[in-house]
Structure 1
């Protein structure tokens, strides 16, 4: 029985520091004046959650007519920074489809309202976020 308790205590002492290390990562573009995280303890969140984010995208996405007529479809992967105040910055295409669809995905994300920022140790931090934007011809 004492072995079981000792093993539990040892695992806890080893696991908790490892868990803290796994849950937080900084980006290579960080500077001493501005730390930018890629992985945080509390992820940034669109105000209202994922359902509201989906609704925002559905209501604000403008499928370019030329791309739609050409049957262009797929997923544009966007990366952006959510700052400590929840504002959107540094919107960029990670993987695109076409110049028209890529530009629309960037416009859509850049015009989003503020998010709830990511947090580390309860403090709001600058955090990178990746978001796929789907374009489908219906």
Structure 2
């Protein structure tokens, strides 16, 4: 079998020998080689364009990165030089100020004169008394010696009075604590508190007729004397139940007050009041 060249037009003549060559297929077969050549050239051109674009992008990226690195290096060197100059200027100023201060101190020290203490000839001779002589005398020994009726004595009395007057008055503590060392407690304990609530609560007629029940959470302040103040509802169930819970808590007898550092203080207390139909 002989080798067939696809670009050669002879095989087309062999195929269409004795046939209608005016038919369109013959014309298409004649242009096949041209179309194949154009397709191969277009493919090679596209590949070359892609490779060239890739190389150009890489070269441009490297050039931009190199330029940025050089710019950053220049800026960093300029900043380092400026900082070094500023530090040198600050150090020079500090050294000059320190030297001026040292010179001023030395000048003051040199200008001061030492004055020797001279004993006066007319000064009274100090007499030292023995312990027995002091015990027999009527003179009182203290931090300040003064004669009764003298100006010095009056001055000392005024100083004492002034010190007494300057003592700040005791300020009543008004802070309300949430937690203290010894929390307030109902007299008789929790069981006595439950008994009081069960005995004192009068179920509202409206709530009872409508079948309303639930737990009303209230807060109040136990004062230093154990009395109850500032009763508030923090979780409501029904206005009638809330009103009854507040009434009962306000009517409670005095509690045992809470204590902090051994002293009675005001303490905020939270207590739920449960309303339940039988």
Which residue of the other structure, out of 13, 18, 39, is the alignment partner of 2:179?
39
Aligned twin of 2:272: 132
Name the one with the larger helix percent.
2
Q: The residue matched to 1:116 in structure 2 has which SS?
A: coil
TM-score for both structures, normalised by structure 1? 0.75
Where in structure 2 are the equivalents of 1:71-86 lying within 5 Å?
A: 71-86=211-226
Aligned-pair CA distance for 1:33: 4.9
Q: The residue matched to 1:54 in structure 2 has which SS?
A: helix
Q: The residue matched to 1:48 in structure 2 has which SS?
A: coil
Structure 2 unaligned residues grouped into runs of 5+? 1-171
Q: Separation in 1 of the partners of 2:219 and 2:197?
A: 16
Structure 1 residues 76-117: Cα deviation after superposition (integer angstroms, max 9, x where no partner): 000000000000000000101011000000000000000001
Pairing 1:121–2:261 present: yes
Q: Which has the greater radius of gyration?
A: 2
Structure 1 unaligned residues grouped into runs of 5+? 1-31
Aligned-pair CA distance for 1:68: 1.0
Aligned-pair CA distance for 1:118: 0.7
RMSD, aligned CA = 1.1
TM-score for both structures, normalised by structure 2? 0.38
Number of residue equivalences: 107
Q: The residue matched to 2:178 in structure 1 has which SS?
A: strand
Pairing 1:102–2:231 present: no
Pairing 1:63–2:203 present: yes
Where in structure 2 are the equivalents of 1:44-55 lying within 5 Å?
A: 44-55=184-195
Q: Separation in 2 of the partners of 1:73 and 1:40?
A: 33
Name the one with the larger strand percent.
1
Runs of 4+ deviating beyond 6 Å = none
Q: Separation in 2 of the partners of 1:40 and 1:96?
A: 27
Aligned-pair CA distance for 1:66: 1.0
